[in-house]
A and B are shown apart, each in its own frame.
Chain A
Amino acid sequence: MSVTTMAKAINAGLRKALEDDAKVVLMGEDIGKLGGVFRVTDGLQKDFGESRVIDSPLAESGIIGTCVGMAMRGLRPVAEIQFDGFVYPAFDQIVSQVAKYHARSEGRLPMPITIRIPFGGGIGAVEHHSESPEAYFAHTAGLRVISPSNPLDAYVMVQQAIRCDDPVIFLEPKRRYWDKADVDGSIDVAAAPSPFEARVVRSGDACTVACYGPMVRTCLEAATAAAHDGTELEVIDLRSISPLDVATVAASVRRTGRLVVVHEASVFLGIGAELAARIAEECFYSLEAPVLRVGGYHAPYPPSRLEDDYLPDLDRVLDAVDRALAF
C-alpha cells in the first residue's frame, strides 16, 4: 500500500474486512455512493454491493438498533456515525442494548459490532462536529473503546475491532485523517499486537506523557521540542481507552516518576482522571509529582475560531511537563 493517509488506510482496512468475512456489513449515512462525508468508505459499495454497504435512513438510533438485530442474526455489523456530536441519539441503544446483551444473555448473544465515529476537533467545523465523547462510552461496561493515532494502526486496528466478539467504539481522530505514513498492506492482522494494549512511541526518562488518538502527534511534537532543551519525554500512545492499559503506563512512571495525561476531551472526570487515580494507587512511592492533566475545559466545545484556545497544543503539554518537573 506504501505511503497513504489515515482515511485511506481505514478504507483499506474495511475493504480487507469485507473480503475476509462475508458476515461483515457496513451501515451508515452517506457511506454508499458518496463514500462517506470523509470518503472513508469510498468505493466500497461499488465493489461489495448495496446489501453489504448499506446507506441508512438518517437516524442514528436506527443504525445502531438495527445493527443489534443483524448481530443477533449472525452478521458482524460496522456502523458509521457521521460525526461525534451525532452519536447521542444512539446513546440508549449503545448503552442499554449493545453493551449489555452479552451479559444479559449470559453469553448467548454476543454483539460483535464496531461503531466508527470520527471524533475530536481541530478542523474548523461548526458546532457538534468536534466533540470527544470517549469517557461516556468507556464508563459503560460491555463496551471497548479504542482510537488509532496513525495510518498503520488505523489499518490494523479497524480490522481487529471488526474481528473482536465484543462491541468496539472505534474513534477516528478526524483531524489526522490526512496524516500520511507507510502502511504495509500485507501485515498479518491476526498476529498483530492487541489493539487493547498501549505502546511506547518515544522513550525518555524525564516525564511520561500518556495520550491517544489526535493528541499523539501533538505530544510527539512536544517531546521533540523538549528534547531540544535537553528534556527527554516518554510518550505512550494508549491506543485503547477501555480496557485501559495501566500496566504499560505504570511501568513507565516507575522509571520517570512523573506523568502528564493529555486528551482533547474535557479534563473533569475524563480518562486522565482515571489514569491519575490508578497511577497514584500503583506508583505511589515512585511519583515525584502529582499526575497532571491537559485537556479541554468544562465548557461546550467553542466556536471554531476559538478552538485553538480550547485544544491542548504543544505549549500546553510542555507547560504541564514543566509543572511536573518543578515538583
Chain B
Amino acid sequence: MTADGGPELVQLLTPEGERVHHPEYDVDLSEEQLRGLYRDLVLVRRVDAEATALQRQGELGLWAPLLGQEAAQVGSGRALLPQDFAFPTYREHGVAWTRSVDPLQLLGLFRGVTNGGWDPHEHNFNLYTIVIGDQCLHAVGYAMGVQRDGGDGAVICYFGDGATSQGDVNEAFVFSAVYNAPVVFFCQNNQWAISEPLERQSRIPLYQRAQGFGFPGVRVDGNDVLAVLAVTSAALDAARDGQGPTLVEAFTYRMGAHTTSDDPTRYRVAADVEAWKLKDPIERLKVYLARSGWADSAFFAGVEAESEALAVRLREGCRAMDPPPATFIFDHVYAEPHPLVSAEREAFVAYHASFEGGH
C-alpha cells in the first residue's frame, strides 16, 4: 500500500494548492462556495482545538480529535442534501457542523452530562455511535426504510479503517448490496486504529473491498475538500438514483491522538506526521483561494475573528453545561411505564430525601 494513496487517488486540489482535473469527477463551485468551505474547515478545526484544550483543563472527560480529517468531513458533509441522513462515529465533529449541530451539543457526551446531545431528526444527523461499526447496519436499515416510504434522500455512513474489520460493517455491506439500499459508506482511512496501522486491518486497499460485495469503491484524497465533495456527491446521487451503495475511502491521516487518553508517540514516528503536515487540507485551499484572487487578507482575518468568537462561546458554554438532576438516570429507560424502574426511582428519591435536615 502506497503512503501517498497511489495512482487511483481522486484529487482535484493538490497539496500545493493547484487545481487539477480528473476524468470522472469534478466540482463547479462559486467563489463564495469555496470561501464557505474554507470557513467550514477553519471553524471545525477550531472547535476541535478548543475541545482538546477543554479536556486538558478538566472540563471534558475525553475528546476524540479530528485534526487532519477536516476536509474529509466537511467535503462529504457539504455533499449532503437536506433530506439525506448521516450516521457518524464519535469523531464526526466536522460533519456535525455541516448538519447545523451546535458544536456545544457535541461536548455533552464528552463532558458526561448526556449520552446523546441533540435531536437526530432535527438535523438528519444521528447520535454518535461508540461501538465500532454498529452504526453501519443502522444506516442500511434506515436506507431500507427510505426505500419503503418512498423518500428521496440518501444515507451516508461514517466509519474508520479499523471498523472495516468488524463483522457488522461487512454485514452492512452485504445487506446494502442485496437490497440495493441508497447508502454511501464513507470510510475515513486515517491510517491508524488507535495504535494499529492499516496493515493490521487489510492486505488490500480498503476501497477495493467493495468489489467483492458487488458495488463500486473509490479512493479519494481525504485532505482535498473539493475531491471529497465531488466523489461523495456522485455517490449520493447514484444512491438517490436507485443505483445502490458505494464505498468511498477517504485517504487521510489522523494528525492527533486517537483520543485525549492516547499517546501516539508510543507507536508511530514523528517523520510520518511531518510528511502529512505538508498535505494539510486547509493550507492548500487557502493557497488556492489567495492565488486565484478569490479571497483577500480581510476575508482570512474575518474567518480568524469568527474562529476566536466561536472559541470563546465554546469555552463559556462548556463550563456552563451542568449535569441533569440525578433522577435523570431513570427518565428514559423505557418509552412506556416499567414498574421496576418506577420503584427504583421512588426508592432513590426517598433515600436522598432521608438526608434532608440530617446532614
Q: Which of A65, A66, A92 has the most CB of B within 10 A?
A: A66
Q: Tally chain A residues at the interface, Cβ within 8 Å.
A: 49
CA distance A106 to B339 in the complex (A): 19
Decide: A75 and B145 in contact? CB cutoff 8 A. Answer: yes
Asked if B264 is at the interface of the complex by the 8 Å CB criterion, the answer is no
Decide: A107 and B332 in contact? CB cutoff 8 A. Answer: yes
Contact with A along B324-359 (1 / 0, CB 8 A): 000000011111101111000000000000000000
The residue from A65, A106, A245 contacting B141, defined by CB atoms under 8 A apart: A65
The residue from A51, A71, A77, A102 contacting B332, defined by CB atoms under 8 A apart: A102
A62 and B335 in contact, given A69-B144, A73-B142, A104-B116 (Cβ under 8 angstroms): no
A67 and B127 in contact, given A57-B175, A106-B331, A166-B336 (Cβ under 8 angstroms): no
Asked if A85 is at the interface of the complex by the 8 Å CB criterion, the answer is no
Contact with A along B96-131 (1 / 0, CB 8 A): 000000000000000000111001110000110101
Decide: B138 and A72 in contact? CB cutoff 8 A. Answer: yes
Asked if B312 is at the interface of the complex by the 8 Å CB criterion, the answer is no
Asked if A276 is at the interface of the complex by the 8 Å CB criterion, the answer is no
Asked if A256 is at the interface of the complex by the 8 Å CB criterion, the answer is no
Please, which residues of chain B bring their CB within 8 A of the CB of A68?
Answer: 137-138, 141
Q: Which of B114, B141, B148, B332 has the most CB of A within 10 A?
A: B141
Interface size class of B (residues with CB under 8 A): 35 or more
Q: Which residue of B lies closest to A59 (CB)?
A: B171
Asked if A304 is at the interface of the complex by the 8 Å CB criterion, the answer is no
Asked if A74 is at the interface of the complex by the 8 Å CB criterion, the answer is yes
Please, which residues of chain A bring their CB within 8 A of the CB of B283?
Answer: none
Decide: A107 and B335 in contact? CB cutoff 8 A. Answer: yes
Q: Which residue of A lies closest to B176 (CB)?
A: A66
Asked if A96 is at the interface of the complex by the 8 Å CB criterion, the answer is yes
Asked if A243 is at the interface of the complex by the 8 Å CB criterion, the answer is yes
Decide: B137 and A66 in contact? CB cutoff 8 A. Answer: yes
The residue from A75, A105, A141, A165 contacting B127, defined by CB atoms under 8 A apart: A105
Asked if B154 is at the interface of the complex by the 8 Å CB criterion, the answer is no
A164 and B174 in contact, given A73-B141, A92-B134 (Cβ under 8 angstroms): no
- CB-defined A-B contacts under 8 Å, sample of 26: A57-B174, A57-B178, A61-B171, A62-B174, A65-B140, A66-B144, A68-B141, A69-B140, A69-B141, A72-B126, A73-B141, A73-B149, A75-B145, A77-B141, A89-B167, A93-B137, A97-B131, A102-B333, A103-B331, A103-B333, A107-B331, A108-B116, A144-B334, A144-B338, A164-B336, A165-B336
